[in-house]
Each structure stands twice: as C-alpha cells, then as structure tokens.
Structure 1
Amino acid sequence: MNTSLPAAVHRQPRRSRYAIASTHDQPLLEASPLAEFIVFVEPESDQVRLLNAFPLIGIAVSDTGATELQNTLKRIYRFKTLPEVPIIRLDPSTMATEAALVAQVLESGLDRLTSHMTKVHTELVMLRRERETLFENYRAIENAFHARNWDSVTEIFSHAPSVDPKDEGFANLLRESEIEQIFPVSSYAVSGFALHFRGLPSGRSGQLIVTLDYVENGEGVAEWLVPYSSVVADWNFFSLPKACDGGHRTLRLRVSATGGTPPELSLGNVITNERYAARARIPHADLDMRPLAFRVFTGLPGVRPTSLPNVFVPTSLIAGRRVEDYRLPVELLRGVTNVSVSTVVPDFPTVRFLEHEDAIVCHPLSEGITAGAIRRVISPGTVRISARAIIDHPEGQPGAVGFLLTSLSADIKGEIAALGRPGEKRPTALFSGWTEINAMQPADINFMLDTATTRAMDLVVLSKATTGSVDFSWLKVFNFRLVKHIEARPVQEMANAR
C-alpha cells in the first residue's frame, strides 16, 4: 500500500487543504512535499481566499513569512470562523525531511479522519432529510387522525340502498311478521345506526317497531316506536343514549310495523354470506341473499351525523334484559267474554270475536262502559301492549277505546265501574287511558307500563261513547301485540359460571 503510484497515473488535485502559509515562503514550500496541502495567502491583499481550505496549521520558513502569516490570520480571526491556528517554523536546511513528516501526518491520519467526517456529515444530512420526511408523514397521519376523532360520529360500516324493479315491498311482511338483520361489525362502541326508506305511503297512520339486541344471549339494547309520519324518504338515524360496551358482541336488528301501510324499507346489493342477509319468519322473494340498507356509527352517543336528515331516540332502554315480541294467538282471542258495566241492555251482541278478521268487536253503549275480557293472556314481564282500533262504518259515531289489566282474582266489573268514579284508585288494576277514535280512521293503542308485570293478568278491552249517539259505532280492535322483557344474564357472568 506504501508503493508510489506510477508516473503515468494522473493525480487529481487535492480538494481540501489543511495548512496555510504566506506567499513570501511560496517558492520554498512549493518544492516540498507540503505543496498540495498548503493554501497561500497574500499578506497585503484586501481579500483572503480560502477556497476548499480549512487551515489547521500555519507553516513558515522565514521570519518575514511568519510575520506576514500572523498578520493575515489576525484579519481572518475577526470573522470568528476559524479556531486559533498554530504556526510552525521549518528549517530550510532540513525542510525536505520535516515537510515530509508533516505531510504524512496530514495525509495519513488527518486526511482519513476528515474524509470519514465528511462521509458522516453526508450521512447526517441524509438522515436529517429522512427525518423531515418522516415528520411530514407523521403530521399528515396525525392530522388525519385528529380529523377523524374530531367528528362527533364516525361511520364504520354501510350497505348502500339498491333498487330492483322486481322488488315487491314489505308492507304486509312488516305487519304480519318482522325482518331481522345482523350487523357484520363488533358491537363495541356502537352509538347508533341508520336505516334507509325509499318510499312513504299516502296514509301514514301507524308506527314502526325497531328493536336492537345481542345475538349471543338475546340481551336487549333499546327499542324505538317510530310513527310513520316521522320517517323521511332517506336515511333515518336511530341513536343510543349510551354506546354499546361490555366487550365485542354481535348486534341484531328487528323491524316490524303496526297500523296501515308502513314506509318502504330499502335493501342493499346481493351478498354471498347468508348469515348477514336480512331474513324473516315468513318467506319473502325480496329477501334473497340481500341485506337491509343500513349504516353503523360510533362516536358520541345521542349525536346525529351531520349528513343524515333526522334522528330517533329510543322509546325504552332494555339493557340487561331479553326481548320477546309476540302477537296474541287467535285461540286466546276467541275466548273473549262480555263483562260490560252499563244500565243499557242492547238487543245485539256488543262484544264478540270476528273469526274472519281476527278482531274483537267492542261496540260502545250510550251509557256505561262496554268491556270484553281475555283471561290470563298477560304473562309476567310484559312491558307493552299495543293494538289497532277502527270504527268500521262510514257513518259510525265517534267513541273511545282503552285497555285495562287486572289481576286474576280481581272483580273485573268492579274495576271497570271504578273507572267512572274520578279519584278512586285501584292498585290491583292498570288502565291505559282513553283513546278517541272516529269513523274509518284507524288509531293505534300503545299501553306502556312503568314497570314490567310480576304476575299473570287479564286483559280487558274497553269502549265508551263520547257523544250522545252510538249509531253504527262498530268498534273493532285487532292486531294485538305484546312485548315482554326477560332478565338475561350478562355474557361475562355466564363465562364466570362455567
């Protein structure tokens, strides 16, 4: 490695110079091995050029050269860009040996160190650029993260509505049964969902019944009773007052209706997973591997997404309980008995069951209260009784209809008679209040109980006159529907029990 290069090889000029000397000593130093390491400066020049030079040592051969170099360095020190440079004197008689020694130190040690530091500096510059790039990427990610979290509600899943010309609609299906939809996302932190409706009926009398529960144990989350008139032909948001917690579970949505023709639910595109397609107990051609059009949201509970036109809050919260929603069987309705309290004795049956319509007729009388009792149909845990009523004659006189729940051992007629005596309270009976009804105008009866029933009870259908006449007041009550809450053990407790 110490072999000198052939003369034919052209040596490139040195890029960096580490020694400084006066031009007074230039003739002697240029003939020495230090020539390529030295930058020569004019002592009397107004400008000092140190191009590609970083003086670490000053070299002088004569007293005059040393003096001129000191004066030049003083001018450079004023800029405070260089540390103090030591000056060494070389003896002209031994300059070749001494210059070779200094050149060897500069070239073998310092030069390699400087070259290494230059590479390190280059690497540092590259690392700095990479760091700036990483910071820019981090800021972009951070901005995106904050932008997402600044949204009060975030959509995590959706099925866009898709219209098929062959769709028949769910008008009868929603009234006779229910549509069930499983959400394909975890329940954790879900704060609401949206359903899409593509059509609204002309007569908007009735209500949608929407229930949300967990698949794993049937534990309910919330229930919404939505009047048809509140639904818009677009996305409708159903909010929760508290985000779902308690671990990652599967949410199940149930939609049914009571009353007239309900708003038309939209369906999504065909999917391949049958588990997440909408289904019903009654087969329907539209529900062929297609889900409902819905969107699932997380975020602040009770806050409506800005892109959705309206919001519905839960009618009741059923956390920790299992929901059982069922219709009264026809066999029980057939057993209705007349328990009317009135001084009027009509010459026609005022209470009877219509076999071809699955409805109970409860014709009001001009005096007193007409009543029909259905025995032992209210089971423990019932929280809501609903039905639909209509005076089925165009000339029928208006009336009022209501429900009464009595214990099995109670005097039903005595409880009914007590309704006509203001101020008298009967702790063993529960009264829904009166709902006025006119001819050919269906009305919904919703009897929401403050607390679930703790024992079996009788259901009494009531009617009375609201005017002086009851002509043609053929009041029919039908589509009886009961909702029962059953206590459900949490998943964690069941796991611990095992």
Structure 2
Amino acid sequence: MSLQQLDEMLAERRPDSLSPRQAAGVAVLDQAGISVTTGAEQPDLATLAGIYLEQTNRLRASAQGRVAALRRLTRLRRTNEELQNCFYALERRFPPGARDLAEVFADEPLASKAGLNLGWSSHGLAQALPVSSSGVSAIELHLRDIRGGAGAMLHVHLASLEDHRVIDRWTIPLDRVVDGWIMCCLTRALVGPTRTLELRLDLECDADVNVGLSLGRSQTFKVFQARNPVSNLPAADTGLAMRVWCGDAHSAYGGRANAFIADRPVPAQRGIRSEPLSPTLLAQVSHVTAHEVNFDFDPVTWIPYRVAIACHPPAYGMTMGVLPLPTDNRVTSVSADVEVGNEKSKPVEFAIVLAEDGESARALLLKTAEPTPQQGFSGWLEVAATGTGQLSAAVAKVGAKPAKLFVATRMRIPGNQNFAWARFRKLTIGTAW
C-alpha cells in the first residue's frame, strides 16, 4: 500500500478498510488525543507515524519493565522462602523458650571475696562456662574498682575449647563502663552441636590502669575456676561472677544500657570465612631460632596487655617464632597487623609464613625456595619506628598435613636492634567451609 493510499484511508477514517495493525495505530493516536480527521489542521503522515512509533515503544518498554519486575519478585519470593526455611531449621534446634531471653546461669558477686585484677603486665584471665552452649546469646560480667586510662580496651573472646575457634569477641573501651554488670551480646544465639565455651579476658592498657572482676561462689571443679591462661594455673578457687542468658541476642542488646554487641565479623567471600585467631593459640607461640640467636630474654612471647605477639629481631639474622593453628586442615590464609612500638627503633622488616615445618618456613624467609601450593609467604615488609603495616599469606591448596604459622622479624639495616619493639597484632585466619 502506498503512502498516498494510507493517507486517504486515514482521512476517510474507514476502519473496515484498514488492516488490524493500522486500525490499532489509529486507536493509539486517538488515545493520545490526536485527531486524524481531514482538514487543514490534520498532521502529515510522517508526524502520525512518528507518534505511533513513540507510543509503541512506550508500550514495549512498559511491558519489558513489568516482566523484569515480575522476575525480581519471583527471585525475592524464592529468597524469602529459603530464609523462612532457615529460620524454621534454627527454631527446631533452639531449646524450649529460646525466643524469650532467659537467665540459665547466675553466680552473683560475693562482697566477702576480693576480686581478680587486670592491668598493665597482667596475663589476662580465662574460664570455661559451666553451662551448655545450646541457645547461649549473652554473658554478663561484674566489674569493680575500675581505673581507666586513655585508650584502654577490655578485650573479651568467647571460644570453643574443642577446636579453639573464636565464636565472638568484644572490644570494650574502658572509659565506657562503670562498676557493675556489663553484658556481652553474641552476634546470634548458638545452635548446633554442644561445645565447651571458654571466656578469655585481656586488658590492653598502659601503666596505672586497672579493672577488677568480682568472684562468685567456691567452685569444686577446677575446669570452671578462673585461671591464669599463661601458666594455666587457677587464679582463684572460684569462678568469675557472671550471668548467662539464652534467647534472642538482639533483644538482649536493645534492652540494656550496659550491653555491648560483638565486633562485626568479616563477611565470608568465595567460601572463605575470616575469624580471629584464638588467644589460647596465640599464647602458645614459641621461639624457633633459639640456637641461632641468643638473648637475655625470650624474644618471642605473647603480650596480653598489648594483645600482641612480640618478636624482637637480632642485630644480625632473623628471629622466627611459631604458633599452632586450628587442627581442622582448612586454614587457607592468615593476616596480621604489625607495628614497631618505640620511636627510638631503627626500621624493622616483618614476614609471616604458612608452612608444615620450620625448615620449609626458613627456606622461604631466606628466599632459597619458592612456595609450594600448600605454603604461603607474605614477603618482607619494612616498618619504621612507631609505624604500622599489614601482612597476609595464603595457600593455593590446603595440604594433608596441618600448617603452622611462622612469624619473623629482622633489622632493615643490620647492626643495631635496640628498642626494636616489633609486634604482630590482630592475627586473623581464613578457613574454607
């Protein structure tokens, strides 16, 4: 059909002479408020065709938008269904009444007993919780005789003794607490297999800082007595005064002014979950190169009041320490913050290695060998006095033999290691799951 014939049919408005598609176009133009009658004011055919195409495109875009919205709605409904199924599975594992915050254990402070103090140079405190882990969502501790200082932090770790995994940790500024009860709220109520929970407390501070922890009733079982985590000896014949709660962890946090929520965990990525290394394992660090480097003191130690591993470098050569990792064979990476804590120090170099034994780690540190897929090496990082840095090492493949973590330091320019307060902090492991 020619353009002239279409123009004549539009002018005569004979729907019976138009094809269905042309009739639909006339209807669209009518809906748009555009007249196609004959006369001097009638638009030309090019204008009509342009308007028709514009309206058609709008209808097509609207239809595409509706389809996309329906697809998103379908995905959201599937996600919601999966989430509801997860909640249902959790509810089946919760103990009865877990939705309501309930006190399942209480050991009130006794005024007749002197408390245990944390301060500068203290070794920290540890105690196993005398309750089942199922449903635990919050733990209260009773503090007393608080003498704070600028920047002082109370570090609380909750770990499982079976695998030395940190379940949650809290970093509490000491200037935000007063004498009395404080509540440490877990990220979520604990579900799954029953585990033995251990509470670990360390005070990061300078001199003239102190916080006391009240004691409860006498405890017959030594495993539930407060103890020195370094010597592993009882610090008292009682446990710490505490209360343990089950239920909704978030309702516990929202209902109390003295409650502290756990540190935000690092989101899992590509099947790798990041978690802090347990203080129980950090305290087991030991010196590897004692036969090569002699000091009047132990150069590789755990420092609770700095929440750090000290690794003092020698004048020549390097100092290397080793500490165990969780024995599940799934550790894929490790990271750490490093620092030199004295302004009088010369620059220090730091490194971390994931390897099966000390000989393999030493070869990587001396660069006489390349890492195998089961080994990880961070390389050496130079840090100036009072400076900080970050290190990370990862394996390409988890080996059959459990890897160990090796830390090492050396002087950037050999010859003077005075005041080289080299420390590894915030050690974090990546585990495959």
TM-score (ref. length: structure 2): 0.49
The one of the two structures with greater contact order (alpha-carbon pairs below 8 A, sep at least 6) is 2
